[in-house]
Structure 1
Amino acid sequence: MAPNWNISLFHYRNQGADYSSILVGIQVPASEDAEFRRFLATLGYPHWEETQNPAYRLFLQ
């Protein structure tokens, strides 16, 4: 992860099973979007872009 990317939101939720849910919000400069997407691809974890989600626009933006 690049040192100038900012983790602005983190929430961990244990579901009482052998897996958990994690919500992470990361601020990345628009000019580094392609590099960030490559970084996410190397992790191998499922992830979703929520920037266009109406809930994000109402409560987090």
Structure 2
Amino acid sequence: MAVILKGWRFAVFLGVIVGGIGLTLYPVVIDPMISADKYKKIQEEASKQLRPRTPPN
């Protein structure tokens, strides 16, 4: 049974969808842009643990 959403119910439904997408994307997209220093530090520590690459023969 399909329910047709009209008026404020449609607005709430749409707000929940947009809010869910926003909450999902925040830690992946927006937070690294706002606080880049934390992620630069993590990247430096990770690159120290990688072994150096050797050129192909």
Instruction: Give TM-score scaled by structure 1 length.
Output: 0.27
Larger Rg: 2
Instruction: Give TM-score scaled by structure 2 length.
Output: 0.28
Q: Which has the higher contact order (CA 8 A, sep 6+)?
A: 1
